[in-house]
Amino acid sequence: MGRIIIKKSFIIWGILVVALSLISCEKEENVVGEDLMGTWYMPQPLNHRTARRSVEDVGRHSLSAWNYSQIVTTNSNQEVIDQMKPTVGSISLSGAVNTNLKHMWSWHNQNNSYIDLSNNSWNNSGQEWIDPNVHVFINNDNNSNNEDRIRVYYNNGDDIEINDEIDFTFNGKTLNIPNKTFTIENNQSLALEGTLSHGTISVPANSPTEIFSQIEGPARDYGTWSIKIEEDGRWVETYTYEDQNNQSNWLNAYVDSTIAEWEVDGDTLFVTYHFDDVWYQGNEFFGAAHGTWYYQIAYIYQKNEDELTLTNEWNVCENEPWCLNGREHQFGIDSESLEELKYIWKLDFSKTPPAN
């Protein structure tokens, strides 16, 4: 009997050892980043990067292209141009149509300027729509095929079109158009003139300042992102935009997905995108070449139950004078005043799907 008891004890001990080993192996086989798996949601705000972009433009890029802040540091007090802020002054259109053009979008460098003017804002939410809608495009690029033009569109379908050179001066911040009168049909005329300046953001010397973080008017979303983090290292990034027309009960929907790869190392989540015929490397996604290339973004992640925050930052110019000088022209600030420009991503996701 004693020999049988000893044998049973030995067998039971052996079973326990094997069971514990199996449990240990199971723990060792847990996937790194398993707590991140699932589907996460983030609204896409209407911001400086999505402004004047179609939903197709937004959807065919990754979410990192639209959701970063810009932090500038200057060595003296500066006023940075903010094209989303209300302008100062106006360009008046008078005669057959009487309205003021107070909304300006511009691109400017040392040699050329391209300017869009309108009497209606790109972000017209909560504002009264002005009829007729007036659009003016001017440029001083002699090598461009885009001629100066005035377009007037009425809600009833009528329109006025003028293609003629428009004289102007523009320093990147302030536009001046001397009086010019155009003759249109039925012996009517249109006169264009005035001075209009971009709004600005004050940047104190030697103080990192966030610019282009807010838009004027009511904040609103421009679709929704979801990311599906899967066990096999697959990352599915989906942009969805829905626009419900309450009068006709017609739903305009657009969906576009991007597939990438993910992996975790410590508190860093690496997301790698593959592209054909376009070169993207690291965070520097502005170069181009041929072939199949990739870019990888290293997000620091923080997870708190059903909330996930991804952050990253990039020193854009890395102290290169040519880069800093180009940004100074873009921002409308003094030469040699820009010390640093950083892009900072802070993406806040939730497990809760957006409300319909």
The pLDDT tens digits for 315-355 are 999 999 999 998 998 888 999 999 999 999 999 999 998 87
For the full predicted model, state whether its pTM sits above 0.85.
Answer: no
Question: Taking the alpha carbons of 51, 57, 60, 65 in that order, is the dihedral positive or negative?
Answer: negative
Label residues 222-259 b or e (16+ Cβ within 10 Å = b).
Answer: bbbbbbebeeeeebebbbbbeeeeeeeeeeeeeebebe
Q: Which two tokens stand for residue 265?
A: 């190392």
- Give CA–CA dist 229/260, Å, rounded: 10
pLDDT on residue 326 = 87
pLDDT digits (tens, 9 = 90+) for 152-174: 999 999 999 999 999 999 988 99
Amino acid at position 124, single letter: N
| Residues 247-260 pLDDT 10s | 556 667 889 999 99
Q: What is the pLDDT along the chain (356 residues), one digit of tens a residue?
A: 433 333 434 444 444 444 444 444 444 456 678 999 999 999 998 888 887 788 899 998 889 999 999 999 999 999 999 888 889 999 999 999 999 999 999 988 778 899 999 999 876 555 678 999 999 999 998 887 889 999 999 999 999 999 999 999 998 899 999 999 999 988 899 999 999 999 999 999 999 999 887 666 566 788 999 999 999 999 999 999 987 655 556 667 889 999 999 999 999 999 999 876 544 444 444 444 445 667 899 999 999 999 999 999 999 999 999 999 989 988 889 999 999 999 999 999 999 988 76
CB 166 within 8 A of CB 138: yes
Give the whole-angstrom CA distance, residue 217 versus residue 43: 18
The token pair at 225 is: 């992102």
CA dist 320 and 253 (Å) reads 43
Dihedrals phi, psi of 18, to nearest 5 degrees: -65, -45
Task: Tell me, rounded to whole angstroms, the distance of Cα 56 from its chain centroid.
Answer: 13
The pLDDT mean for the chain works out to 84
pLDDT at residue number 286:
45
In SS3 terms, the chain reads as CHHHHHHHHHHHHHHHHHHHHHHHHHHHCCCCCHHHCEEEEEEEECCCCCCCCCHHHHHCCCHHHCCEEEEEEECCCEEEEECCCCCEEEEEEEECCCEEECEEEEEECCCCEEEEEECCCCCCCCCCCCCCEEEEEEECCCCCCCCCEEEEECCCCCEEEEECCCCCEECCCEEEEEEEEEEECCCEEEEEEEEEECEEEEECECCCEEECCCCCCCCCEEEEEEEEECCCCEEEEEEEEEEEECCCCEEEEEEEEEEEEEEEECCEEEEEEEEECCCCECCECCCCCCCEEEEEEEEEEEEECCEEEEEEEEECCCCCHHHHHHHHHHHCCCCCCEEEEEEEEEEEEECCCCCC
Q: What token pair was written down for 157?
A: 């379908």
Tokens (6 digits) for 37:
């798996």
pLDDT of 27 reads: 45
